[in-house]
Amino acid sequence: MYEGENRAAGARISYFVNVPKMEEKKPEEKKDVTTPKVPCIKYDTVYAKIYNEVGKQIRTLFSVPDTSGMQRITWNLTEKGIRYPNTPKPKKGTAEPNGINILSGKYKVVLSFGDQKDSTYINVKPDPRYNFDRSAEVAKRDIYERLKVNVAKLTKASDRLTEANDVTEKLLNQVKDNEGKEIEDFRKQIKAVQDTIKSKKELIVAKPLEKQGYGRPYSMTALTKAQELMMYLGNRQSSPSKTESIILEQFDGLTRFHRQNKCILCRQLGRIQKESRINEIEYV
C-alpha cells in the first residue's frame, strides 16, 4: 500500500533560484566621500506579486529560500484580506491576511529576487463540484468591497483610540511624582478621557470578558456586524439576499456613529494638553 500527502489546495508556483553564498565581512575601509553610494541589492527574499485581468495587484506572497534549486510558493486563491479593528499593525516581513476567494479568470504572477524578475500566468477555473453563478459572485464581491472600505476606516479609528490612550499614559507619567490640587484635577481629566476612550472602543470591539466561562454574550458592535457579513458572504452559494443588505446597513450606521464621535474626543484631549502647561506630546 502506498501512502503519501494529499495535493495541496490552491495554485502551486514553482521556480528555480540560485541563492548567493554569504560573503565574509571585510575590514572597514576609509570611506571616500567623493564616491557616490551604490544601493545594495539584497538576494534574500522571493516575492510573488499577483495581478488580476485588469492589471490590479491583489496579493503579494513571499518566501525566503535558504538553498539553491527548485522552490515553490502556494497561493490559496484569495485576495489580500482586511486588518480588523483592535488588531496589531503588521510588521515588516509579516504575511498578508487572507481575503475573499478570487473569481475564475487569468491572473499574472510576477516573481522577483533581488533585481531579477520573471512572470507567468495562472488560469483559475470554477470548482466543478458547485454550480458556479458568476453574477452572484460579482454581487457578493460588490458588498465585500463596500465592507472593506468601511472596515479600513474603522480600523484607522481604532488605531487612533489606541494612540490617544498611549498619549494619556504619557501625560500621567509626566506628573506621577507631582502633587497638588492642580495636578489632582489634571489626573481626573485624564481619567475621564481614558474612560471615554474605553467606551468608544467597546462600541467597536465589544467589552472584554471579565470572568471566565463558556461563550460570550452577544454585543451588537461594528466588528460583530462585519464578521457576521463575512460569514454570510462566505457560506452563500447564490446571490446576496436581504439579510446581507440589512447587516451592511447596520454596519454602516455603527461606523458613521463612531467617526462622528471620534473628532470630539480628539478635541477634548488636545484641550487638556494645552491647559495642563506640561511638555506637549504630539498627537497625530
Q: How far apart are CA 279 and CA 250, in angstroms?
A: 42
- Residues 6 or more apart whose CB falls under 8 angstroms from that of 82 comprise 97, 99, 147, 148, 151, 152, 155
Furthest CA-CA distance within the chain: 83
What is the separation of C-alpha 38 from the centre of its chain, rounded to a whole number of angstroms?
34
pLDDT of residue 117: 94
Residues 6 or more apart whose CB falls under 8 angstroms from that of 146 comprise 248
Query: Between 245 and 213, whose confidence is greater?
Result: 245
User: What is the spatial distance between Cα 258 and Cα 222, in angstroms, rounded to a whole number?
Assistant: 9
| Segment 24-47, tens digit of pLDDT | 555 666 555 565 665 677 888 999
pLDDT of residue 121: 96
Residue 11, Cα to own-chain centre: how many angstroms? 23
Q: Which of 69-73, 183-187, 279-283 has the highest mean pLDDT?
A: 69-73
- Measure CA of the first residue to CA of the last residue in the chain; give whole Å: 65
Under 8 Å between Cβ of 79 and 10: no
3-state secondary structure 15-76: EEECCCCCCCCCCCCCCCCCCCCCCCCCCCCEEEEEECCCCCEEEEEEECCCCCEEEEEEEC
The pLDDT-based confidence of 16 (bands split at 50, 70, 90) is very high
Angle between helices 134-174 and 181-205 (to 10 degrees): 170
Q: In this predicted structure, what is the pLDDT of residue 258?
A: 63
Confidence (pLDDT) at 187: 87
| pLDDT at 274 (0 to 100) | 57
Distance CA 215, CA 203 (A): 19
pLDDT of 25? 56
Mean pLDDT of 112-139: 91
**pLDDT, average across residues 101-122:** 94
Q: What does pTM read for this prediction?
A: 0.76
The better pLDDT of the pair 283, 107 is held by 107
CATH number, span 11-19+42-124: 2.60.40.4070
Residues 6 or more apart whose CB falls under 8 angstroms from that of 161 comprise 197, 200, 201, 204, 262, 265
- The whole-number average pLDDT for the span 154-181 is 86
Q: Calculate what percentage of the chain has a pLDDT beyond 70.
A: 80
pLDDT tens string 222-280: 888 999 999 998 888 888 999 999 999 998 888 876 655 555 555 555 665 555 544 44
Question: Is the confidence at residue 1, as pLDDT, over 80?
Answer: no
Amino acid 205: pLDDT: 81
Q: What is the mean pLDDT of residues 164-173?
A: 88
Query: How confident is the prediction for the chain on average, in pLDDT?
Result: 82
Q: How far apart are CA 15 and CA 72, in angstroms?
A: 6
Q: Does the structure show a pLDDT above 80 at 178? A: yes
Residues 6 or more apart from 90 whose CB is under 8 A from it?
A: 83, 96
User: Can you give the pLDDT at residue 279?
Assistant: 45
Sheet holding 57-63, edge to edge: 57-63, 46-51, 105-113, 116-124
Please tell me the distance from the alpha carbon of residue 252 to that of residue 154, in angstroms, as a whole number. 10
* More confidently predicted of 69 and 263: 69
